[in-house]
Amino acid sequence: MGAIFVFRADEPVWSWLFILLGPGATLLGVIVAAWRPRVGGWLLIALAIASTLVLSAVMASSAEVVTAALWRIALPMAGLGLAFLLAGRHPRTLVPKVSNGA
């Protein structure tokens, strides 16, 4: 697998914005989701959309790059966010419930 972007020098600010909103923010979203799954899930989905929009606006003439970034970065990120949203629907209890002995 080849790299989508190779930064050597004098990259445009849009390239860094895409990286920070997409792959760079995935760790932040997962850390937030560890304590607040719904917040982290929505954060991951919103950042995946934002990074795709930034890339689409800048690289509109190159559908190959946008498609590759969508498959490699945005869709897995959004899928992870969706998984956290689904996990956040069911409250977790660390202590099992004890019946009243009825």
pLDDT 10s digit of each residue in the chain, 102 long? Answer: 566 556 666 667 787 888 888 888 899 999 999 889 999 999 999 999 998 888 888 887 888 888 888 898 899 999 999 999 998 887 665 555 666 765
Contact 18, 57 (CB under 8 A): no
d(CA 87, CA 95): 18
d(CA 25, CA 36): 16
Non-local (6+) Cβ contacts of 68 within 8 A are 4
Confidence (pTM) = 0.74
End-to-end CA distance of the chain: 61
Closest CA to 41 of 86, 75, 85: 85
For position 38, what pLDDT does the model report? 92
